[in-house]
Structure 1
Amino acid sequence: MSGAPEIRALGAPAATLGEGPSCDPLTGVVTWFDILGKTLYEHDPEAGTTRTHALPMRCSALAAVDAERQLVVSEAGLFLRDRASGALSLHRPLEADRPDTRSNDSRTHPSGAFWIGTMGIDAAPGAGAIYWYRAGEIRRLFDAITVPNAICFSPDGRTGYFTDTPTGIINRVALDPATGLPVGAPDPFDTGHGRGEPDGAVVDADGCLWVARWDGGCLEHLSPEGALIATIDLPVTRPTCPVFFGAGAGRMILTSAREGLGPDALAATPQAGCSFEIRLATPFSGKLDAPVALAP
């Protein structure tokens, strides 16, 4: 990758914990959350505007359903959101017996299945899990996870990735492309390249991973084999997750966090918590997530 990227903060209020960016494949609108601030952001790339919506609970991810509805992942379960009014209605409970947990990183598989991560509200060791949802059914895939992140999938749906952030390891697992369910045990894919811990990640059309490095101040571009292709330095120390958007999914937005940063760190990185558009010198093709399947 040649040439320095252009990194521009979007005109939106900084988040305490910006997370869960996604690009709606039906509208092209990019959404993300301030989990701790209970806020949904909606960014219209064509208009260059960003709207914010106050939420009644901590939410962490959103997926398109159809022209009228979206599915929102929250600490209180899975909710359907009416696009026109923003009204939320409970679709399925998730860990309803666990007031000590909340949702975290989640992503739609090409089959329409939705992988959903949960974690302890105070990041208690092993309190979280990763679940599979499709057509009303929920299954637990992996448990004893502290901070689930980097949930993403290869373009053909045959490979899934995830991390438990404190371990520093991104895992890879073979999947049934028709269902998004694992067909084998996970194995280590990437153990890091010396900067921070893995947070959110996406896979582009070539099967390469783009990984935000929490406390590493960078975005890593990895080959399908796990080799480091490039490192993009960022103006924040706690980037959280990238997302592709635009024509050919050839543009990128990245969220970040202010959570846990003291006065000196905030003074050194005043854009902490902002979301950024990253324009690379070399064109690339990303991949948009599919709508989530509510019916078989």
Structure 2
Amino acid sequence: MTEEEVPTSVLSAEHCHLGEGPTYDVATDTAWWFDILEGRLFEAHLSSGSTRVHALGRMASALGRIDAERQLIVAEDGLYIRDLADGAMTLFCPLEADNPGTRSNDCRVHQSGTFWIGTMGRHAEPGAGAIYALHRGNISMLFPRISIPNSICFSPDGATGYFADTARAVLYAVPLNPATGLPRGEPEVLLRHTGIGGLDGSVVDADGQIWNACWGAGRIDVYSPQGGRLRSLRVPARQASCPAFIGPDLSRLLVTSAWENMDDAARAADPQAGCTFLLDVSARGRAEPDVKLA
């Protein structure tokens, strides 16, 4: 399939070691994303063009909005409530805190307010991770023995969940209870990735199409709910990592990237590795729901 060239700009030229976990707050026109390996949280106000970088003091990979004053940060040792006013972080609950060999990775909030959270080995050790659900303040393990959890996202009606194990090159679909965001059946293979790159972060639009960052291939692939590839969009960094719909009408795509595991020669050949991009894709995106703690 031919890659499309869409109008693309650089939102942040700060080179993230491992950019991940983008999300967007419609109410404040603010995009958020992480540099996992450097323990940094980025905050970009789109209307003003200003970007701030917050040092977290720990690896973190994703956040969910609780309300106008608070966020829930998913970090290497647990979940933290972060106050927007001063950035103060308070431990909400530990997660694999007794296992120094793992960290958090891909996560996303279901329409019900349940937060799906992926963990993995710090060196992508086979089967070292898992996918959990934070449902009304209680954490339960959904899927064990995951190597690299990615592509956590949900259909518009909340009745299907998706996730990938990048190491297995498989994207799974899981039937869910739309009211709780919890599985009511077993995962089934939706598609098997072949060719260059691997399945990384994904987000689902209002039409149910799955927008996936293809790590190592420098592109976004768009899949139908049945798993057929519909489009491929070029990203100007080889290690594209995760997309998010942004803007007042959620029609643009923010894409994070990384320079992880690239030597000097590879970085010279990929000068925008780690930058964060905006793609004008005319999507019908969806707003991210708030996470519910009680």
TM-score by length of 1: 0.96
Greater strand content: 2
1:243 & 1:136 partners in 2: Cα distance?
A: 25
Unaligned 5+ segments in structure 2 are none
8 Å contact kept, 2:161–2:173: yes
Task: Please list, as runs of the form range in 1=range in 2, the aligned pairs for 1:162-173 lying within 5 A after superposition.
Answer: 162-173=163-174
Q: After TM superposition, give the deviation of residue 12 of structure 1 in Å.
A: 4.0
Question: Which residue is 2:125 aligned to?
Answer: 124
1:116 & 1:163 partners in 2: Cα distance?
A: 12
2:3 & 2:99 partners in 1: Cα distance?
A: 48
More displaced 10-residue stretch of structure 1: 235-244 or 3-12 = 3-12
Q: Does 1:291 align with 2:290?
A: yes
Q: Does 1:57 align with 2:66?
A: no
Question: Which residue is 1:248 aligned to?
Answer: 249
1:247 match: secondary structure = coil
2:121 & 2:12 partners in 1: Cα distance?
A: 31
Taking structure 1 as reference, are residues 139 and 263 closer, same or farther at Cα in structure 2, changes over 3 Å only?
Answer: same
8 Å contact kept, 2:3–2:234: no
1:195 match: secondary structure = coil
Unaligned 5+ segments in structure 1 are none
Q: After TM superposition, give the deviation of residue 259 of structure 1 in Å.
A: 0.3
Q: Does 1:257 align with 2:258?
A: yes
1:88 & 1:62 partners in 2: Cα distance?
A: 12
2:273 & 2:4 partners in 1: Cα distance?
A: 24
1:285 & 1:170 partners in 2: Cα distance?
A: 22
Identity of aligned residues (%): 48
8 Å contact kept, 2:3–2:233: no
Question: Which residue is 1:9 aligned to?
Answer: 10
2:217 & 2:169 partners in 1: Cα distance?
A: 12
1:249 match: secondary structure = coil
8 Å contact kept, 2:6–2:234: no
Taking structure 1 as reference, are residues 124 and 183 closer, same or farther at Cα in structure 2, changes over 3 Å only?
Answer: same
Q: Deviations over 1:211-238 (max 9, x none)?
A: 0011111110111111111111222110
2:145 & 2:3 partners in 1: Cα distance?
A: 41
Task: Please list, as runs of the form range in 1=range in 2, the aligned pairs for 1:96-245 lying within 5 A after superposition.
Answer: 96-245=97-246
1:36 match: secondary structure = helix
**Letter in structure 2 aligned against 1:288:** A
1:24 & 1:95 partners in 2: Cα distance?
A: 28
Q: Deviations over 1:265-288 (max 9, x none)?
A: 1111100000000012xx221112
**Letter in structure 1 aligned against 2:190:** F
8 Å contact kept, 1:25–1:64: no
2:57 & 2:283 partners in 1: Cα distance?
A: 38
The Cα RMSD (Å) is 1.4
2:249 match: secondary structure = helix
Q: Deviations over 1:144-171 (max 9, x none)?
A: 0111000000011000000111111110
Q: After TM superposition, give the deviation of residue 197 of structure 1 in Å.
A: 0.5
Taking structure 1 as reference, are residues 237 and 146 closer, same or farther at Cα in structure 2, changes over 3 Å only?
Answer: same
Q: After TM superposition, give the deviation of residue 76 of structure 1 in Å.
A: 1.5
**Letter in structure 1 aligned against 2:15:** A
More displaced 10-residue stretch of structure 1: 222-231 or 69-78 = 222-231
